[in-house]
Amino acid sequence: MEYDHREIEARWKSFWKENKTYQVSNDSEKPKYYVLDMFPYPSGAGLHVGHPLGYVASDIFSRYKRLKGFNVLHPMGFDAFGLPAEQYAIQTRIHPAVSTAQNIKKYHEQLDNIGFCYDWSREVWTSDPAYYKWTQWIFLKLFDHYYDKAADKAMPIDGLTERFAFSGNAGVQAATTQETIFSAETWKSWTPKQQDEMLMNYRLAYRKVSYVNWCEALGTVLANDDIKDGVSERGGHPVVQRPMLQWSLRTTAYAERLLKDLDTIDWTDALKTQQRNWIGKSEGAQLFFEISGSPVKLEIYTTRPDTIFGATFMVLAPEHPLVQQIVTPGQKKTIEDYLSYVGRRSERERASDVKEVTGAFTGAYCINPFNQQKVPIWIAEYVLKDYGTGAIMAVPSDDERDQAFAEKFGLPIIGVVDKSKYPGATLHDKTGVIYNSDFLDGMEVAEAIEMMLKNIEAMGIGSRRINYKLRDSNFSRQRYWGEPFPIKYDQDGVSHAVERLPVELPFMEDITPSPDGKSPLSRDASWVKMDHGFTRETDTMPAVAGSSWYFLRYMDPHNPDAFASQKALNYWKDVDLYVGGTEHAVSHLLYSRLWHKVLFDLGLVPTNEPFKKLINQGMIQGRSLFLQVGNRKIHVKIQLADDKDRLYRDKYLEMIQSDFRFEGIDANTEICWQKDEKGAEYAQLTMEVEKMSKSKYNVVNPDEVIEMYGADCFRMFEMFLGPIEMAKPWDTRSINGVHNFIRKLWALFYDVHTGASLWTNGEPDKDEYKALHAAIKKTTEDIERFSLNTCVSTFMICVNELKRLNCNKKKILQEFVVLMAPFAPFTAEELWRNLGNTTTVFDAKYPVADESYLKKDVVEYPLCINGKKRGEAMFSVDMSPTDIEAEVRNMAVVRKWTEGQQIRKVIIVSGKMVNLVVN
């Protein structure tokens, strides 16, 4: 007889389904606990072994919390809108709605095979109209509100229009890019279209001109990801930056709160730091420079106004609107050439090629207000249009990028900060003494910055300004497979909310992008045209829209009248534990926090932050094999052990002929053959660890592993692989260790030959209890601190110990089942029955370690002299440090004792070591 996982798992899966074991009620006396997984995007490839890593961990934690007496919400759903489904549809002519549904069905089966305790009655899909109705509804809240800086929260836009009609925008404190002041009369004199455009400067969801990566040949907008070396990855066509009118979210309005509230949540410091850097708060000055021979002024942003005397040139972002106005006729050609070069470069390329300095001179000059010097104005791609004012004053003596630029173009460098007082300080540090700077000479940097800020304000040429790297997020996609915007335009082009939600995505046969760059939806004239001359917005929302609030829908997933009832929201409140990958660390989490804060401002959710605690699981990587073909390496799939890095010609040909699993190349591919010592031809295979992906042929499917070893084994092995938060490569070869463990566990309770039960009902003895309580103590600690790999080790040690003691007492079993439950729904039916009424499985209490079994009487202390181990000594545990010291002095056990050595100090370390410091 052997442990038969197939039979056991099938039985329990149907049992759970029939008994709705995992269904969670919103009405409970118990305290709530909400454990959330980042829901998957259902791709055609199905789940690979990397996906369930976080799911297994959160499942263990959910079960643990249930055993601790909490009412645990642990739901799952699908992030079903997105680009891959759309691209798959374009290739295969299968509609994304169809392929997505198929994929979800597959994901469902795969997830159920692993035995998660999800409450599937709460499942949501972001592509379901009943769901995205509320995505659109929340979008309209963003559209209908602006950020009031005085109240420090979102406020209705209606209040703002009333105020405009009453007193114009003077004194309105709002998050806006609008800086000119208009009166009530002006406001009233405007056409509805003009008023609408003005309001776009205030709304939290608004339309503005943004730049996109435009590929003329493909007739579509591309992601940065789709661009390699300035051309499209697919086809190698040129890509240019093209302005388009698009929806954006005023993320910047919430920058300060998004930053400040990080202090209130329990996330890792690494993740918080990443979010802080993304928000990128900096304090400095906004400063206006006169431009010679021009009425317009140049506005720059700097964090170092103290270095203005070292500013030898100005740099504008190439897209800066002033460029066309100030360029001199003599420089027009140079600038245009440069602009067309920049237009071909993606944002990421511009940011990463720092070594190569490029730029062009506009021919214009501005005046330094403090010394009346003429300063040349350049444009360069290292200045970004979206950060600060898109213009900087360059101080080559104190900024590395400015320095490189000055050296390349022969611009003067004037030193203004003396750092000799601060050895080791980098250029970036705000330390040093100012020189060459008129009235600032001799001041410390901090003092000089303050002085300059005061001067700038007094002279009326600028002001203090807090700046954020965070930009307003582009929220439009010219795609089909996403939520349509609930927005319509009248004949004058004025935007209005659509009253009846949801605005359903119309079915379209052909969803290829339109050659004019518009969304495919624009081709469905019957959908675009509405009554009374209204037309619909044809862009769709990005995939982050649906995932920005899905955790709220799980609380009350079928509610037709609200995104969730107030009762459900007040019971579940927020997510207690959120588990997900680092790849979402910035964008998804920032969007979710933003949406949540808006909903909080409107009184629609009870908490300010959505995710109290967050654990980032690391990626499980695949091992990719590469074969040299021509002068490049290509991914291949081949059944070989990892340590085989050569592939012999005969073998290769045999593989091709026998249709062996050798994907990625065909028989005609020109492989680079080399000769070994004996003259046999071989090809070199190289292995690299990288993200699992279908195209890299390195995906491991969990179904195969589960079929062979069982779900419990799979789950434990995933945990055993390594720390949850770390990236690690998958290696199926060592799974038999965990498999052996489970079989050993089974064999504790059943006769391997006959299958008969071995249980006895006697009271366990002291040693048996000791093994058990040691395991309970350690596993509790391990689960609480999310160290699940060591938790598995602890189980193994405990089972080995019980096996050594030949223990099969029923009492131990009962507690052990409960202990075991976090890892697996226990697989032997008799053990389940042992818990009594099966429907109350989760009312069982997690056992608490009894310290009385764990006490030690005597401790063996290693004796160290100056940190080097020199022998051992036994002391009783209740001896005080003073007693131990006295004992050590009297001891003759210390070997290697040199004549004349004197004990200077006795250090007792953590009660397990004595260290003598001698001289």
Cβ distance to RNA smaller for residue 606 or 862:
862
**What is the closest distance, in whole angstroms, from the C-beta atom of residue 27 to RNA in the complex?**
33
Q: CA-to-CA distance for 204 and 516, rounded, in angstroms?
A: 28
* Shortest Å, Cβ 712 to RNA: 15
Sheet hosting strand 473-474, strand order edge to edge:
220-222, 205-215, 240-249, 473-474
Which of 317/443 has CB closer to RNA? 317
All residues at 6 or more sequence positions from 577 whose CB lies less than 8 Å from its CB, including other chains: 33, 34, 35, 36, 58, 61, 612, 613, 614, 615
Is 788 strand, coil or helix? helix
Nearest approach in angstroms of CB 104 to RNA is 13
Nearest-approach distance from CB 154 to RNA, in angstroms = 20
**Angle value at C-alpha 315, between 312 and 317, nearest 5 degrees:** 175
* Distance (Å, whole) CA 632 – CA 706: 36
The CB-of-14 to RNA minimum distance in angstroms stands at 30
Report the distance separating Cα 111 and Cα 530, nearest Å: 43
Query: From the CB of 675, what's the least distance to RNA, in Å?
Result: 27
DSSP string computed for 569-626: HHHH-SEEEEEEEGGGTTHHHHHHHHHHHHHHHTTSSS-S-SEEEEEEEPPEEEEEEE
Q: Residues 61, 821: contact at Cβ < 8 Å?
A: no
227 vs 443 by CB, closer to RNA: 227
Residue 792, C-beta contacts closer than 8 angstroms, at least 6 positions apart:
716, 719, 720, 738, 823
Shortest separation between residue 223's beta carbon and RNA, angstroms: 2
Closer CB to RNA, 52 or 84, in the complex: 84
Closest to RNA by CB, 307 or 519 = 519
| Cβ distance to RNA smaller for residue 326 or 914 | 914
* Residue closest to 907 by CA, chosen among 865, 870, 869, 872: 865
276: amino acid identity, one letter:
R
Beta-carbon contacts of residue 262 (< 8 Å; ≥ 6 apart): 272, 275, 276
**Is 79 or 609 the residue whose CB approaches RNA more closely?**
79
Instruction: Give the Cβ contact number of residue 807 at 10 Å.
Output: 23
- Minimum Å distance from CB 350 to RNA? 9
- Backbone φ/ψ region at 839: left (φ over 0), alpha (ψ -120 to 50), beta: alpha
Which residue lies nearer to RNA by CB, 82 or 310? Answer: 82
Q: Which is nearer to RNA, 108 or 573 (CB)?
A: 108
Please report how close the Cβ of residue 203 comes to RNA at its closest, in angstroms. Answer: 18
Residue type, 284: G
Cβ at position 75, least distance to RNA in Å? 17
Question: Taking the complex as a whole, how short is the minimal distance between the CB of residue 897 and RNA, in angstroms?
Answer: 12
Least distance between RNA and beta carbon 893 (Å): 13
Report, in Å, the least distance between residue 428 CB and RNA: 9
Cα-Cα end-to-end distance for the chain: 66
**Assigned token pair, 916:** 């003598």
Let me know: does 43 contact 103? Beta carbons within 8 Å: yes
Least distance from RNA to the Cβ atom of residue 652, Å: 25
Q: Are the C-beta atoms of 819 and 776 separated by less than 8 Å? A: yes
- Burial of residue 653, with CB atoms counted within 10 A of its CB: 0-12 exposed, 13-18 middle, 19 or more buried: exposed
Write phi, then psi, for 505 (nearest 5 degrees): -70, 120
Name the minimum Å distance from CB 53 to RNA: 12
What does the alpha-carbon distance between residue 189 and residue 830 come to, in Å, rounded to a whole number?
A: 82
Alpha-carbon distance of 896 to 184, in angstroms, equals: 94
Could you say which DSSP state residue 513 is in?
P
Phi, psi of 43 (to 5 degrees): -85, 165
- CA 556 vs CA 140, 302, 566, 738, 744: distances in Å: 21, 49, 10, 39, 43
Query: Is the preceding peptide bond at 502 cis, omega within 30 degrees of 0?
Result: yes
Rounded Cα distance, 335 and 322, in Å = 12
598 versus 620: smaller Cβ distance to RNA: 620
Q: Which is nearer to RNA, 13 or 584 (CB)?
A: 584
* Nearer of residues 545 and 569 to RNA, judged by Cβ: 545
How far apart are CB 373 and RNA at their closest, in Å? 30
Residue 26 CB-density burial (10 A; 0-12 exposed, 13-18 middle, 19+ buried): middle
What is the C-alpha to C-alpha distance for residues 864 and 906, in angstroms, rounded to an integer? 10
| Cβ distance to RNA smaller for residue 253 or 366 | 253
The beta strand positions in 91-161, using DSSP E, are 145-148, 153-156
| Cβ atoms 896, 870 nearer than 8 A | yes
Question: For RNA, which is the closer residue by CB, 462 or 622?
Answer: 622
Q: Which is nearer to RNA, 526 or 910 (CB)?
A: 910
Q: For residue 919, give the nearest of 899, 898, 904 by alpha carbon.
A: 904
- Of residues 678 and 733, the one with the C-beta less far from RNA: 733
Closer residue to RNA in complex, CB, 248/312: 248
- CA count, 13 A, side-chain hemisphere, 84: 12
Beta carbon nearer to RNA, 123 or 781: 781
Return phi, psi of residue 409, to 5°: -105, 10
Q: In the complex, what is the shortest distance from the CB of residue 799 to RNA, in angstroms, rounded to a whole number?
A: 9
- Given a contact cutoff of 8 angstroms between Cβ atoms, the answer to whether 378 and 409 are in contact is yes
- Alpha carbon distance 163, 777 (integer Å): 64
Please state the closest distance from residue 748 (CB atom) to RNA, in A: 11
